[in-house]
């Protein structure tokens, strides 16, 4: 029972579609489904395939989004709809399409299916690759995101009495929506590692943004310079996150796996490979077992190299989440070895200065020592 993984596979989710010229194309998820099936990842006895939760209660969306905004999405997406100003709709990033409300609800229902399975211990890991709309704000669409499926599911977990949830966001863009929604809530530690807002949308996610007055140190940002490669990215990730997880002791880890940090991604400026991204997914999986009794919910996110990157790396994610890594071999033959930050750091190194900046901003709020060399 406990080793089971629930994977959401629901081709109706392709209805979340802003049209043929929009970068967030649903084909990236459909091609991943094809890969997952052709690698027989769903055939194992311990893997359950599920569709979106048919009994998903739309009212859960109101725990995150305002009534006015939901009404605006509904109105805009009606057959003869028009977009009211002020809600981020009908923009270049979030154009309106017919059925927009229902398609966006369905993304929430799919992430909810994975979340509920893990919360109820029907599965140890839950995966919804069609989810991960981390930019959506309570009263505003943003960055290709209408409803924040992540925040909706996390809010539900909180309503069920879960007291400590770690949210880890490896998308190249700052996970600003999720951070904003739980900004002042110490039950949710949001951790976002991303390309610096100096060079990339949405321009936020600074080291000094650490959470509201009741939750200082529970919003964690690791902004990295454009061009960062596998080894530097992994050094930063491993140099900040596990220490915090060990201290926070999450009951559940919820991760967002936007894969637009890849070197071929057309919208960002990072330099990771499939091998580096796979290494980061392995770390998150390992941390779920080490720090959260294996309770892990994973969703997709951004990723705009639709054919050469997304379907491959997310198939790796499905393989990791279903404990069948041996079945998937996509590689770019990159060396992903890196030196651990805790073994020593260099104040003249740009990445090390980034890592230290985050540690100095966050660690003291948890009684942790920021400078590893000071521990000896």
Interface residues with Zn ion (CB under 5 A) are 171-173, 258, 260, 302
Closest separation in Å from C-beta 267 to Zn ion: 7
What burial letters (b/e) apply to 299-336, b meaning 16+ CB within 10 Å?
bbbbbbbbeebbbbbbbbbbbbbbbbeeebebebebeb
Environment class of 258 (CB within 10 Å of its CB; exposed 0-12, middle 13-18, buried 19+): buried
Q: What angle do CA 231, 224, 298 make, to 5 degrees?
A: 75
SS3 label, residue 54: coil
Closest separation in Å from C-beta 192 to Zn ion: 11
State which residue, 1 or 374, has the beta carbon closest to Zn ion: 1
Q: Which two tokens stand for residue 163?
A: 């007291």
State which residue, 73 or 127, has the beta carbon closest to Zn ion: 127
Is residue 370 within 8 A of residue 364, CB to CB? The reply is yes
Closest separation in Å from C-beta 200 to Zn ion: 8
State which residue, 212 or 225, has the beta carbon closest to Zn ion: 225
State which residue, 285 or 359, has the beta carbon closest to Zn ion: 285
Please state, in angstroms and rounded to a whole number, the distance separating the CA atoms of residues 190 and 196.
17
Closest separation in Å from C-beta 43 to Zn ion: 18
State which residue, 172 or 234, has the beta carbon closest to Zn ion: 172
Closest separation in Å from C-beta 288 to Zn ion: 7
**H/E run at residue 299:** strand 296-299
| Main-chain dihedrals φ then ψ at residue 5, nearest 5 degrees | -125, 135
Please state, in angstroms and rounded to a whole number, the distance separating the CA atoms of residues 22 and 28.
12
Residue nearest to Zn ion according to CB distances in the complex = 302
Closest separation in Å from C-beta 285 to Zn ion: 6
Closest separation in Å from C-beta 332 to Zn ion: 20
State which residue, 219 or 292, has the beta carbon closest to Zn ion: 292
Q: Which two tokens stand for residue 251?
A: 């009951």
State which residue, 155 or 256, has the beta carbon closest to Zn ion: 256
């Amino acid at each position: 029972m406990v080793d089971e993984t629930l994977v959401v596979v629901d081709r109706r989710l392709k209805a979340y579609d802003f049209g043929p010229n929009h970068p967030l194309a649903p084909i990236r998820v459909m091609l991943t489904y094809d890969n997952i099936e052709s690698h027989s990842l769903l055939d194992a006895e311990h893997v359950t395939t599920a569709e979106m939760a048919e009994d998903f209660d739309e009212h859960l969306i109101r725990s995150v989004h305002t009534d006015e905004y939901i009404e605006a999405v509904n109105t805009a997406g009606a057959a003869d709809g028009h977009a009211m100003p002020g809600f981020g709709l009908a923009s270049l990033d979030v154009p309106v399409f017919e059925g927009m409300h229902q398609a966006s609800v369905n993304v929430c229902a799919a992430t909810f299916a994975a979340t509920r399975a893990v919360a109820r211990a029907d599965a140890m890991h839950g995966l919804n690759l069609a989810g991960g709309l981390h930019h959506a704000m309570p009263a505003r669409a943003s960055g290709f995101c209408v409803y924040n499926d992540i925040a909706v599911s996390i809010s539900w977990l909180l309503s069920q009495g879960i007291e400590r949830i770690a949210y880890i966001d490896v998308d190249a863009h700052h996970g600003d929506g999720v951070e904003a929604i739980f900004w002042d809530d110490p039950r949710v530690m949001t951790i976002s590692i991303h390309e610096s807002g100096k060079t990339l949308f949405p321009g936020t996610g600074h080291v000094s943004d650490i959470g509201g007055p009741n939750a200082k140190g529970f919003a964690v940002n690791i902004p990295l310079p454009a061009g960062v490669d596998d080894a530097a990215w992994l050094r930063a990730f491993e140099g900040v996150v596990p220490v915090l997880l060990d201290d926070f002791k999450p009951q559940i880890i919820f991760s967002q796996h936007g894969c637009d940090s890849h070197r071929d991604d057309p919208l960002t400026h990072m330099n990771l490979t499939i091998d580096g991204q796979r290494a980061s997914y392995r770390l998150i999986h390992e941390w779920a077992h080490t720090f959260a009794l294996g309770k892990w919910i994973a969703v997709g996110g951004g990723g705009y190299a639709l054919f050469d990157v997304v379907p491959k790396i997310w198939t790796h994610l499905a393989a990791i989440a279903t404990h069948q890594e041996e079945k998937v071999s996509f590689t770019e033959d990159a060396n992903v070895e890196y030196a651990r930050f805790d073994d020593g750091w260099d104040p003249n190194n740009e990445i090390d200065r980034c890592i230290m900046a985050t540690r100095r901003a966050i660690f003291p709020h948890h009684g942790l020592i920021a400078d590893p060399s000071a521990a000896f």
